[in-house]
Amino acid sequence: MEKREATTVEIAETSRERKGKAPLLGAVDNAKAAGYKRGVAIFDLILRISAATATLAATITMGTTEQTLPFFTQFFQFQASYDDLPTFTFFVIAMSIVTGYLVLSVPFSIVSIARPLVPGPRLLLIVCDTRGGCGGVRRGGAAHFHGGALRSRS
């Protein structure tokens, strides 16, 4: 039996093949940016869950608390609950709305972790957070202004 020797023939790459093998400098930057954005998204998720837990606890505490408070003496007492004053009722309703918003925004934050380079969910969260924050400041300022105007007329 004869042994055959294998010969290898080197074929030069064409210019078309070389174009496909060029190093992608943008891919290195995208990996670094994706890691940074993923870290920010994880921090955002932790903040959202913490805020939702705190607002839910505040809502439950305020809504279920009923106290008997002494007024001047032990014999003169009154019951206090959240629905005695409109301010407390507004607080419970507002905190319920904030809790609902935070719970509903958690899935978008999770999507931002899974796909850090997709700008849609992150942009939606930024717009909704900004709009909600500005609306809260506007309403608080209006309540303060109108409350001050009512006090000065008395």
Inside any domain, residue 78: yes
How far, in whole angstroms, is CA 25 from its chain's centroid?
32
Inside any domain, residue 12: no
Q: Minimal CA–CA distance to 95: which of 60, 137, 132?
A: 60
| Predicted TM-score of the model (pTM) | 0.64
pLDDT in tens, 5-28: 777 777 776 666 666 555 555 455
Inside any domain, residue 127: no
Whole-angstrom distance, CA of residue 72 vs CA of residue 87: 24
Q: Which regions in the chain score pLDDT beneath 70?
A: 1-4, 13-31, 71-73, 135-154
Inside any domain, residue 124: no
Inside any domain, residue 4: no
Inside any domain, residue 9: no
Count of structural domains within the chain = 1
Inside any domain, residue 96: yes
Per the structure, the complete domain to which residue 40 belongs is given by 30-118
